[in-house]
Structure 1
């Protein structure tokens, strides 16, 4: 999920982020992905979102300084100590999420590199983020040449070797992956198609899309049109606050 503008008024005290306008979903994995027409410098690019969250929290801390401690210097020190914990906490949460997406239980020293190597491969090969993880979760034979490349095959061997270190049955890993890797997301070009149909008075595509994304982890052949990445002409390059 790529925020168009992930500023302070789009982040809740409960830690959730909100975006009602120029947001979109990532197709091909690129950490530098930006959609918003006003984000010309890439401030809210996918890879920058953790740092932006910390920046937003810092603005909140500034507003709370008078309430943290009567001594301003001590108040600043306490705020900084807590804010400095954020990125490490985020990285731990992110790695744990990725372990779940890869069906890995427990923590191993090489997990971070295993994840970063997969993301690097996705980026260099323009691989679809959602479909790649779903491909791993379903563990089916594929006709897609991208998953037959030497680098991916070698990575796959490392991943399976890591899975063998799980102290859980293989089925548990598969169940975990199916629960954490959606088969379908509201892809940008499908959302555009739904909007165009709605403007013409046809709400059937909207109802179909809503029905499908209510059960995003349930796969099936009927999802093929919703799983396909956009063609070059269908790609959404820019979004706007009125989107």
Structure 2
């Protein structure tokens, strides 16, 4: 079948990648094929089925594929690594989807690359399915995200803390250009390569910047805007990425790399799930701060493009960096006004939101917001969630005075009833490791419509048992 690849990254940016073929999978078996996404990419799901195991394991390259490992650097937990790159991923190529948008198609877990740094380049079935689940959940929640086109069990085994079934994920993204991609060339003093990369990213992701008086500054403005909106959406959902390193933050503003991510249940601003984030750098409440820190690293790579005069270029960069907190705050207020169904904008909204969050401390984040729909007329179901239900009485009249006329419908449309509850995800992944894919498929069906409450799915809306919640940790597994 014709995939209609048009591999502009390889064609236009020599020196930013190294060619590499995927490793052979001994006995590939298709686990999941995202038929809706396939159709969106102009791929025929029916024609894909007979060849899917071979294609999505890397055993059979589609016509027009030109697999490469992309180069990038990154600040990881604040420390700079000048060379990271795709250690277990290969960009097969790009297609233009039915919406006219260019999309990368890449394999993850397909074996060693020149950037593997001693790793095996493989992935286990659990982390691969986890990324599939999380990406599809975020898509249904309306958050910009990379997505999974397919998952394949390879028939090989992967050695981690124990021996696990190997698997490959096929990931689709607007692109895989990261802040760390710019850092890679800036760290090497390759100013021409930084400029070419910026020109490419402008044309592909932020074309409106090309016509600006200062295109590179406009490009930086555009990246700030999409990143601020993205992190505000994460915060509204209680989503914790877990590894906001600069090599995991995209220029396109999509969520990418679902390693140690998780959704917060009990609201606590200092919540950390990642087993490797021992200092809480990427805790829930720190994500907006890391947004600014990461964008400062991007600014360092671009500042020479902002103006020929170094002093003026630095002033321009600092001016933009000083404005990030305000841009994020505006994006966050927009998200939170939606979650509270407020009518228009009011100077007192920030205080109203803050006071509700104080009430919500220790309560389930998702259910706390979801039950506001009932609390418009009767807070009876909301009170039991709160540590101090009596304090709710002083807040409710202030909130009701600001409500939009159709508040209950708005509240249900803005606040999901179903999220990827950590214990349900872990149950599904454990079953899949044992060969039973049904719980994963059921979970995907639930998460595909997260805002509509349905009978029989009560277990997917409840918080984890206390014993699970107290010990749950996530790991960088893919």
Residue 204 of structure 1 and its aligned partner are, at CA, apart by: 1.1
Higher Cα Rg, which structure = 2
Corresponding residue number in structure 1 for 2:464:
230
* Range that drifts further, 135-144 or 179-188: 135-144
Corresponding residue number in structure 2 for 1:152:
392
Q: Does 1:189 align with 2:189?
A: no
Residue 109 of structure 1 and its aligned partner are, at CA, apart by: 2.1
Q: Does 1:80 align with 2:315?
A: no
Residue 62 of structure 1 and its aligned partner are, at CA, apart by: 0.4
| Distance of aligned partners of 1:143 and 1:109 in 2 relative to their CA distance in 1, 3 Å threshold | closer
After superposition, the CA RMSD in angstroms is 1.7
Answer whether contact 2:274 2:474 (CA < 8 A) is retained: yes
Answer whether contact 1:28 1:128 (CA < 8 A) is retained: yes
3-state secondary structure, aligned to 2:401: helix
How many equivalent residue pairs? 235
Answer whether contact 1:101 1:181 (CA < 8 A) is retained: yes
Corresponding residue number in structure 1 for 2:111:
none
Query: Among residues 108, 112, 127, which one is paired with 2:363 in the alignment?
Result: 127
| Distance of aligned partners of 1:22 and 1:146 in 2 relative to their CA distance in 1, 3 Å threshold | closer
| Distance of aligned partners of 1:153 and 1:199 in 2 relative to their CA distance in 1, 3 Å threshold | same
Query: Among residues 408, 432, 436, which one is paired with 1:198 in the alignment?
Result: 432
3-state secondary structure, aligned to 2:350: helix
Higher helix share: 1
Distance 1:94 1:177 in 2: 16
Question: Where do 5+ consecutive residues of structure 2 fail to align?
Answer: 1-238
Higher strand share: 2
1:131-158 deviation digits (Å, cap 9, x = unpaired)? 0110002446428623581112322222
Which structure's relative contact order is higher, taking Cα pairs within 8 Å and 6+ residues apart?
Answer: 1
Answer whether contact 1:4 1:19 (CA < 8 A) is retained: no
Corresponding residue number in structure 1 for 2:476:
241
Distance 2:325 2:472 in 1: 29
Distance 1:28 1:62 in 2: 37
Answer whether contact 2:240 2:283 (CA < 8 A) is retained: yes
3-state secondary structure, aligned to 2:369: helix
3-state secondary structure, aligned to 1:222: coil
Corresponding residue number in structure 2 for 1:136:
372
Distance 2:381 2:359 in 1: 18
Answer whether contact 2:343 2:402 (CA < 8 A) is retained: no
1:40-97 deviation digits (Å, cap 9, x = unpaired)? 1111011111110111111111011121111111111101101111110110110111
1:147-205 deviation digits (Å, cap 9, x = unpaired)? 58111232222211222xx4xxx22x222222110011001111000011111211111
Answer whether contact 1:137 1:178 (CA < 8 A) is retained: yes
Q: How does 1:1-243 map to 2 (within 5 A)?
A: 1-123=239-361, 126-139=362-375, 141-142=380-381, 145-146=384-385, 149-163=389-403, 166=404, 170-171=405-406, 173-235=407-469, 237-242=472-477
Distance 2:442 2:385 in 1: 30
Corresponding residue number in structure 1 for 2:170:
none
| Distance of aligned partners of 1:103 and 1:143 in 2 relative to their CA distance in 1, 3 Å threshold | closer
3-state secondary structure, aligned to 2:371: helix
Question: Where do 5+ consecutive residues of structure 1 fail to align?
Answer: none
So what's the TM-score if we normalise by structure 2? 0.47
* Range that drifts further, 154-163 or 187-196: 154-163
3-state secondary structure, aligned to 1:162: coil
Distance 1:78 1:204 in 2: 54
Residue 223 of structure 1 and its aligned partner are, at CA, apart by: 2.4
User: Structure 1 runs of 4+ off > 3 angstroms?
Assistant: 138-141
